[in-house]
Amino acid sequence: MSKSLQDKVIIVTGAGRGIGREIALLCAAEGAKVVVNDPGGAADGAGSNAAPAEEVVEEIKKRGGTAVANFESVAEAIPASKIVKTATDAFGRLDGVVNNAGILRDMIFHKMSVEAFEAVIKVHLMGSFYVSHAAARIFREQESGSFVHFTSTSGLIGNFGQANYAAAKLGIVGLSKSIALDMGRFNVRSNCVSPFAWTRMIGTIPTETEAEKARVEKIKQMGPEKIAPLCGYLISDSAKDVTGQIFGVRMNEIFLFSQNRPIRSVQRSEGWTPQSIAEHGMPALKGSFYKLDRSADIFTWDPV
């Protein structure tokens, strides 16, 4: 059976553990040469440790694959550009980037510190930009390449205590769409994946009530290895016509998410006043309002 990523060079950020690790292992198994990036910090981004990335590289080599480790942070432009340089120095080219690196600093909004907000934005949103921006010049010159960015239902739908994470993850959707629009002429693709999987980061979800404990037990069934196949596909040439989309993976389900479009309108030939909006405009639109749903309110069935 032919390998879908034979001889492609792929960067996977945050690849030392969890979803990133599984993506790196799958890409290598499919024939790719992989840059395993991970500074090895804690779930909140603190500290560093070379071991996670090195262990994934060793595992890939043990299975007959090819990989190198990189320990730079995605949260600053110059270190992020060195991740891309690692790929070109080691393997002479670059074909795909999976922007998976992330941290969590959850806190209810009025108690969230400025530092906690900025730190999460830096890793998720700015990190996705920094790595993608460094790779974009290579992709433009060779007129090929694929980006896979990670979003979340915390941004797409909503969640408590995650204003920083939700803002970053919805920002990544806009970033991905802009890359798809701007770089389509160079045969460069960009898509988002919203994963449902039990990882170290999800392990920070509170489990104080029985309902919360039951929810976490369901999430634990969803291994990070379930996310990797879609990412491998999106990086491959088989996905040459797939760009600008938002996908979700939940156990054995793959979702295509909707994107923002007008759903209802009201019009007055004489124009609007605050009073006429209150009396006519808003009541006419109110039937189409979205409720303050969270991810768990929308995904109400068990993983399959």
Residue-level pLDDT at 203: 53
pTM of the model as a whole: 0.92
- In this prediction, what percent of the chain has a pLDDT beyond 90? 83
Query: Which 3-state string (H, E, C) describes the chain?
Result: CCCCCCCCEEEECCCCCHHHHHHHHHHHHCCCEEEEECCCCCCCCCCCCCHHHHHHHHHHHHCCCEEEEECCCCCCHHHHHHHHHHHHHHHCCCCEEEECCCCCCCCCHHHCCHHHHHHHHHHHHHHHHHHHHHHHHHHHHHCCEEEEEECCHHHHCCCCCCHHHHHHHHHHHHHHHHHHHHHHHHCEEEEEEEEECCCCCHHHCCCCCHHHHHHHHHHHCCCHHHCHHHHHHHHCHHHCCCCCCEEEEECCEEEECCCCCCCCCCCCCCCCCHHHHHHHHHHHHHCCCCCCCCHHHHCCCCCC
Domain ranges of the chain: 9-256
Architecture in CATH of 9-256: 3-Layer(aba) Sandwich (3.40)
**pLDDT one-digit tens code per residue, 6-41:** 999 999 999 999 999 999 999 999 999 999 999 987
**Does the annotation mark 130 as catalytic?**
no
Active-site residue (options: 130, 165, 233, 290): 165
**pLDDT one-digit tens code per residue, 233-280:** 999 999 999 999 999 999 999 999 999 999 999 999 999 999 999 999
Average pLDDT over residues 74-94: 98
Residue-level pLDDT at 199: 54
